[in-house]
Structure 1
Amino acid sequence: MTAATTTGPASSARPTGPAGPTGRGHQGPWVARIAVVTAAIVAAVVAHGNLLPVLGLVAALVAVLIAARPETAALVAVGLIFSNATVIAVHDHGIPGAVALLVPILLLVTAGYHVFAHRQPILIPRAALWMVAFLVVQMVGALLARDPATSVATVQTFLLEGVVLFLLLTNAVRGWRLVRLAAIVLVVVAGFLGTLSLFQEVTGADHQDFAGFSTMSNAVINRASGGGSARHAGPIGEQNRWAQSLAVTVPIAVALGWKDRSRAVRLLAKVSGVGIVVGIVLTYSRGSVVGLVLMVLIAVIVRWVRLRTALIVAGVAVGTLLVFAPTFANRATTVVTASSSVRSTTGGATAQDGSFANRSTEATAAIAVFLHHPVVGVGTGLFPTYFQDQARAQGADRIVGVDREAHSLYLGLAAETGLLGLVTFACFAGSLLTALGKVRRRYLTTDPDAAALATGFGLAIVTYLTTGLFLHFAYIRYFWLLAGLAAAMGMVNDAGTPAVLHPHPPKGRSHDVHSENPSPVADPDRHPRAGGDRRAPGAGRA
C-alpha cells in the first residue's frame, strides 16, 4: 500500500472509524435515504417540472442529517459538485455568489470531524506532491508569460478548484465506508441527471431545463435531413464536456452494480448506470465513445478486465445502439470516416461545423506553440491568444478571428505548461493509478467488492485521460473531484483511515494466511481487533 504522508501526533494514527461495513444489514439505512431522496426528486420533476421547491425541502432534511452525522456533509458536497448546483444557483437563479463557499464548508465540516472529534491525522496523498509540482510549473509559466495577469488568474482557479478541493476531499472522504458511499452518491446523481435528459427527449420538453440541471445545446444533429436531434448538455451547458463527465462514472457504476456486497446498492447502481449511458447517448459525443472504447482496451491490456467480458459488453452495446439510437450510432461512425454530421444554427442560417478540420488546425497550432515554448509553455490559459497567428500561418481563414482552445488535454498542457507541465501531470495520474492498483491487488481475493471499486476508480481516471484526447483541460473541478475520490480509495488502510475488511469474513469467504492476500488477523492495519480492540465508541454502525 502506498502510504500517505500524515501530520499529527503518532497516537492519532489509530483507526477510529468503523472498520468498514460490518454486515449487510447496516447498509440499509444509507441506501434507503438515497432511494427516498431520489424518488422524491423524480416525483416532483414529473409532477411539476420544477426542482427548486423539492430541493429546498431536501436541503432542510440534509441539514438535519448533517447535524446528526457530520460525515454526511462530505457526501452532500460530492453531489453538489457533480450536479454543478452552486454554479447554477448563482448564474441561473441570482443567488449570491457566497453560496459557492458551501462546498468547501461542507468538506471542512467532515474533515474537521475526523481530525478534531476523532483525533485522526491530516492526510496528504503522495499524488499531492506531484500536484504541487504541477502548480509550481504553472506559476513559473504565468510569471514568464506575455500576459501574466490573465495567466495568474487561471492559476488561482486551479489552486482553488484543484489543489484545495483535492486536499479537502482526501481528508473528508477517508476510509472504505465513506469512499463507497461517495461513489454511490456520484453514480446516483449522474444517473438521475441522465434520466432528466431522457425525460426531455421522450416528452419533447426541450424548453424545460429543470431549473438549469438539464440544458440543451444549440448544436443540432442532422438538421438538413429535417428536424434533427438537439444535443443535451446537462447542468454544464456544453455537450461534449457533459458527456465526458458522465463517461467517467460508467466504470464506477459497473463496479458497484456487479460487485457491491449490498443487493440494494447493486440494483441502484445498475438503474443509475442505464441513466448515465442514456445521458451520454443524448449528447451525441463521439469523443466519449472513443474514450470509453480506449478505456476498455487499456483495461484488457493491463488485465483489469477479461477480453471475453469486453467483447460481450461491446457486442451488446453496439446492438443496442443500432436498434434504439441509430442517429448516435451513425454519428459515431464519422470518427472512422473522418466526416462530420454536426450542424449548428446561427441567426437561422445553417452551416457545416467542420469539427474535424477545425480540430486539426487547433492541434497543429498547439504543437507549433509548444515547439516555440517547450519548457514551461506560454502560460496557463493563454493558448487562445496565440492561436490566431498560427491559424493565419496555416491559411485557416474559416476560423481566423476566433479564439480557439487546443481541444486536447495533452496538446493544451504542452502549449500552456510545456514539457514540465506534461511530466508533472502524468506523474500525478500515474501516482493515483499505482495506489489504486495496489488496493485492487490486495483485496482481489479477500474482498472483491473493494477490489472492484478500486478498479472502477482506476478506469474512471483512465476514461478521463482517453476522452482528454479530444477535450482540453476545462471544468477542472470535475476532474479534481474524481481525482480526490480516487486518491481516497488509494489510501484505504493508510494511517488514519478506517480499514476495508469486515471484522468477520462473509459466508463463503475464507482467509488463508498462506494465500497471496494475507489474513486480516495477520495484518493489524486491516483488522480492528488485531492486537486489541481499537474501535471507537459506535464503531460498526453504518
Structure 2
Amino acid sequence: MTINKQDVIYLLLIIALASAGAVLISNPNIQVGLFGLATLLVIGLVVAIYIKPSLGAVVLIIAVFSNISRQFTDQGLPGVIKPLVAIVAATIFVRYLNESMPGGRVKTRTVEVFLFLFLIATALSYIVADNKDRALEATLDLGKDIVIIYCFLFTLRTPNTWKMAAWTIILVMGFLCLLGAYQVIRGNYRQEFFGLARVVQDIGSYSTTYRIAGSIKEPNIWGQVVVASIPLVLLRVIDESRIRIKLISLGILGILLFEVLNTYSRGAYLALAIIFVLTALSYRLHPLVWFSSMAVVVLAIPWLPSSYTARFETLSLLSPGSQGGIYQEDSFRGRTSEMLTGLSMFVNNPLLGVGAGNYPNNYQTYATNVGLELRSGERDPHSLYVQVLAETGVIGTIMFVGFSIALLVGLTRARNSISHLEEYRHWIPWIIAIQLTIIGYLITSFFLHGAYLRFFWIFSALAMSAIQLTEELRQDAERPSRELTT
C-alpha cells in the first residue's frame, strides 16, 4: 500500500482534530474549553478549505461583509480578520504546493503591477509620515487586502465557483439589509442584532433621523457598499432564466433599495441613479422603458416621507445655478473644507504626501490655511481620491487610478472577447454586473474616504478573477478550431 502526501495531510488533520476534541471534553476550565472550541473551528475550516479551496473566498466574504472582527473587538476580544486571512491563505498555499499552482494571469498582469506599485507608494509614504504607527498600519492593511485578492485569484477557478462567491455577496447583503428593513418597519432601532445592523442618529433642530448603518456603523459608507452590490442582483433580475431565482433576486433587490433609501446617503443616491442609467445603456432598453421609469420615480417622490425628500432637496445645492450652494448646508461646507484641506496637504507634499493614514492628524495644521470652516479634533477627507492624493502624493494617486482604469478596461476587453461565443453568453451579464459594481464604488468614492476600503478590494478581487476566467474560457472555446487548422 502506498501513502501519498495528501493522505498524510488528512491523517495529521484528523489527529489534531481528535486531540483538540479530547481537550475540549475532558478539561473543565472554561478558558481551556473555549480555546479547544476555537481550535476545533480552525481545524474544521482548514480541512474544508483544503478539500474545496473556493470555500476560502466564501469565508472571507462573509467575514468582511458582516464585519465580524468588530463584533469581537467590541466585546474586548482580539480581532479575527487578519488571523483568518492568514489561515485561509496558508491553507490555499499548502493545497497548491501539494498539487499544482494555477496557470499564468496574462490578462490581469497590468492590473497586478499597478496594485503592487500602489502598495510600494503606500509603504514609501511611511518615510514622511508624522504618525509612523498609522502609516505602518495602513500599509499592513493594504498588504492584507492584497493577500485576500490572491486568495480569490487562486480559488475561483471556474465560472461556478465565481458565481458562488458573487451569490455569497448577494445573500449576505440581502440578509444584513433585511435586518435594517426590520428596524425601519418596526421602528425598533435599539435592536442591532449583535452588531450586524447598526444605526446612527442624526439629531436636528426639530427631529431625529435614524440612519441605517449596517454592520460598520457608517451610514454613508454602508450606502456605498449596498449600491455597489446592487448590480450583482439587478442583472440577475434582468437575465436570470429561472423564474424562482428571478423572483428571489427581485425580492433581494427591493430590500437593498430600501436599505439605500434609509442610509440617507446622497452620494449613494447619485451613484444608484448612474448605475441604473448605465444598466439601461448596456442593454439598449426601449425609450418607452426609459420614460416609464422616469415617470414612476417622479410620481413616487411626493409620496415619500418628508425626511427622504428633505435629503433629496439638498442635492439641488450642488447645481451650477445655486450660487454658493455648498456653503449654505453645514455638511456640504464641512466636506468642502475637508477636501480643500486634503488638497492643501498634497500641494505642500506633492511627491509622497503626508503619509498613509496621516490625513486626520494633519487636518488641524492645514485647515487654517483653507479658512473655510474650523473644527476641533481630527477629521476625515470625505473623498477617497483626495485622501490618496494627500496621503500618498502623486505617485500613489497615479498607481491607484491606473489600477482602477486597468481593471475597468480589462473587464471591457474580457466581455468583448467572448461576445461572439454563443455558449458563453450567460457569462457576459456577470462581467457587466461586476464592472458596474466597480463603477458604482468609484463614483461614491468622490464623496467618501477609504475608511472601509476592504469592500472595494473584495469587489476588485472578483473583477480580476472574472477577467482571468474569461480568458481561460475563450482559450478553451478556440482550442478545437486551432487543432483543426493544424
TM-score, L = length of structure 2: 0.79
Change (3 A) 1:212 1:263: same
Deviation of 1:451 (Å): 1.0
Q: In 1, are the aligned partners of 2:234 and 2:253 still within 8 Å (CA)?
A: yes
1:369 is aligned to 2:345: yes
Aligned to 2:332, which of 318, 333, 356?
356
Mapped to 2, the partners of 1:194 and 1:478 lie a distance apart of 16
Deviation of 1:284 (Å): 0.7
Instruction: Kindly report which structure 2 residues correspond to 1:18-417, keeping only aligned pairs within 5 A, or say none.
Output: 69-88=52-71, 90-98=72-80, 100-106=82-88, 109=91, 113=95, 116-117=98-99, 120-121=102-103, 125-126=108-109, 127-160=111-144, 162-220=145-203, 223-226=204-207, 228-296=208-276, 306=285, 308=287, 312-337=292-317, 354-396=330-372, 398-399=374-375, 401-417=376-392
Mapped to 2, the partners of 1:484 and 1:135 lie a distance apart of 16
Mapped to 2, the partners of 1:103 and 1:259 lie a distance apart of 34
Change (3 A) 1:73 1:155: closer
Q: In 1, are the aligned partners of 2:53 and 2:155 still within 8 Å (CA)?
A: no
Amino acid at match of 1:472: H
1:484 is aligned to 2:464: no
Q: In 2, are the aligned partners of 1:130 and 1:424 still within 8 Å (CA)?
A: yes
Unaligned runs of 5+ in 2: 1-37, 320-327
Secondary structure, aligned partner of 2:205: helix
Mapped to 1, the partners of 2:468 and 2:480 lie a distance apart of 20
Structural RMSD (CA): 3.1
Instruction: Kindly report which structure 2 residues correspond to 1:517-532, keeping only aligned pairs within 5 A, or say none.
Output: 524-526=475-477
Mapped to 2, the partners of 1:259 and 1:188 lie a distance apart of 18
Secondary structure, aligned partner of 2:221: helix
Mapped to 2, the partners of 1:397 and 1:324 lie a distance apart of 33
Amino acid at match of 1:492: L
Instruction: Kindly report which structure 2 residues correspond to 1:415-434, keeping only aligned pairs within 5 A, or say none.
Output: 415-434=390-409
Mapped to 2, the partners of 1:389 and 1:119 lie a distance apart of 50
Mapped to 2, the partners of 1:404 and 1:470 lie a distance apart of 14
Mapped to 2, the partners of 1:312 and 1:137 lie a distance apart of 48
Question: May I ask how many residue pairs the two structures share in their alignment?
Answer: 429
Mapped to 2, the partners of 1:109 and 1:260 lie a distance apart of 34
Mapped to 2, the partners of 1:292 and 1:99 lie a distance apart of 30
Secondary structure, aligned partner of 1:205: coil
Change (3 A) 1:331 1:468: same
Aligned to 2:443, which of 462, 466, 473?
466
- Cα deviation, 1:262-298, whole Å, max 9, x if unaligned, reads 4443333222111111111111111111222344556
Deviation of 1:393 (Å): 2.9
Q: In 1, are the aligned partners of 2:49 and 2:88 still within 8 Å (CA)?
A: no
Mapped to 2, the partners of 1:378 and 1:335 lie a distance apart of 32
2:32 corresponds in structure 1 to none
Q: In 2, are the aligned partners of 1:71 and 1:110 still within 8 Å (CA)?
A: no
- Cα deviation, 1:129-177, whole Å, max 9, x if unaligned, reads 10111111122222133443432222122111x2222222222223311
- Cα deviation, 1:23-73, whole Å, max 9, x if unaligned, reads xxxxxxxxxxxxxxxxxxxxxxxxxxxxxxxxx9xx89x969768644333
Q: In 1, are the aligned partners of 2:272 and 2:440 still within 8 Å (CA)?
A: yes
Deviation of 1:492 (Å): 1.2
Q: In 2, are the aligned partners of 1:259 and 1:448 still within 8 Å (CA)?
A: no
Amino acid at match of 2:476: D
Mapped to 2, the partners of 1:68 and 1:156 lie a distance apart of 29
Mapped to 1, the partners of 2:441 and 2:372 lie a distance apart of 30
1:52 corresponds in structure 2 to none
Amino acid at match of 1:372: N
Mapped to 1, the partners of 2:147 and 2:128 lie a distance apart of 24
TM-score, L = length of structure 1: 0.71
Amino acid at match of 1:224: S
Greater share of residues in helix:
2
